[in-house]
Chain A
Amino acid sequence: QVQLVESGGGVVQPGRSLRLSCEASGFTFSAYAMHWVRQAPGKGLEWVAVTSYDGRDKYYAESVKGRFTVSRDNSKNTLFLEMNSLRAEDTAVYYCARDISGWYGVHEYWGQGTPVTVSS
């Protein structure tokens, strides 16, 4: 069965960096676009970034553009999110999600999420 397991979250000071990982299993990782979606405490869902199946194409929400970088290692079935210049408003649970089919924009499978707290 499809499994997505995020890791790397934690408490970090404003302006610092953090790298999240998402290990995938149960499907052909290299065939799907992968997304990051976040949810601030008590708030709704916010799409963060997407990478194409081969990692060549990447797109970001305006709120993180220039600070966050999404990447993937298809040989290790792993998705990454490098987060730089972190701000208090980046505090959230970060989910990785698999697209429903190739690159469609629909998040069919989700990980359990990894919490990120940006605080001094």
Chain B
Amino acid sequence: EIVMTQSPATLSVSPGERATLSCRASQSVSDNLAWYQQKPGQTPRLLIYGASTRASGVPARFSGSGSGTEFTLTISSLQSEDFAVYYCQQYTNWPPMYTFGQGTKLEIK
């Protein structure tokens, strides 16, 4: 099983500032990496797939980068609605054994 490790567990950032979230895979997943956002009491929302492709309707302030085992989600200028938990997920396995990271909570500083 590919283990996904996110850091930090909690990130405190002020509105308007940049946030950088990290995700590491225990072995290479190429660019088969997605990011999801989940607000309290809500369903997860797909933000990024293919490591760097924004999903439909996702604002340009969200960007993803990386390949292999190291990935980053950057939010360029935090808005109030961006404070949430973010999960990375790999989807490279065959047969499928998709795995999520444990999440990073982005909170208001």
Binding site for B on A (CB under 8 A): 35, 37, 44-47, 50, 59, 61-62, 95, 100, 104-108, 110-113
9 residue pairs from A and B, CB less than 8 Å apart: A44-B101, A45-B89, A45-B100, A47-B98, A50-B96, A62-B1, A95-B43, A100-B55, A105-B92
Cβ 8 A contact of A110, one of B43, B49, B55, B98: B43
Q: Which of B49, B89, B97, B98 is most buried by chain A, counting CB atoms within 10 A of its CB?
A: B98
A106 to B49 Cα, complex, angstroms: 7
Interface size on B, residues (CB 8 A): 24
Give 9 closest A-B pairs by Cβ, nearest first. A105-B91, A47-B98, A59-B96, A110-B43, A45-B100, A106-B49, A44-B103, A44-B102, A106-B34
Say whether, besides A106-B34, A108-B55, A46 and B46 are in contact (CB < 8 Å): no
A-B pair number, CB within 8 angstroms: 58
- Interchain CB contact under 8 A, A47 and B32: no
The CA of A108 and the CA of B91, in the complex, are separated in Å by 13
A110 touches B91 (CB 8 A): no
B59 at the interface (CB under 8 A from A): no
Residues from chain B with Cβ under 8 Å of A100 in the complex = 46, 49, 55
CA distance A45 to B103 in the complex (A): 8
